Amino acid sequence: MKVINDVVEWLVQTGLLSVLAIFLLKQLKPVLDNKAEHASTEQSKALWTLLEQVADMAVASLVSQDKSGREKFDEASMIVNDVMKKQGYKLDSKTIHTAVQSAYEKSELTPTKIKED
């Protein structure tokens, strides 16, 4: 045990421990930054998936209502905004409109017009 204490004391007194710590931090920083970036990407992906699901449900719930397309779109946008706020996410209107528009385009319940030549 005395030998270990002597070695640690020698490392501290010579400054070698500080140099070693700095070297290890410089080596680990890119790895830690990469992990943080990956976590952020995964979080964004999960948020977008939740947003798509909420938009799909809002669109599906409004399909059978007797309203104009614009009224349904606006109401679906309000529903999505309210649900995302309740979940703790604050999104801008452009993002919400994009998700709702995408949900309308993907939905098999909404009519699409096919132009014939």
Do residues 112 and 93 touch, judged by C-beta distance below 8 A? no
pLDDT at 67 (0 to 100): 87
Query: Would you put residue 70 in left (φ > 0), alpha (ψ -120 to 50) or beta?
Result: alpha
Q: What is the pLDDT of residues 21-70, one digit of tens each?
A: 888 888 888 888 888 888 888 888 999 999 999 999 999 998 888 888 89
Q: What is the pLDDT of residues 41-50, one digit of tens each?
A: 888 899 999 9
The three-state (H, E, C) secondary structure of 58-98, written as one string: HHHHHCCCCCCHHHHHHHHHHHHHHHHHHCCCCCCHHHHHH
Q: What is the pLDDT of residues 81-109, one digit of tens each?
A: 999 999 999 999 999 999 999 998 888 87
User: What letter represents residue 74's amino acid?
Assistant: D
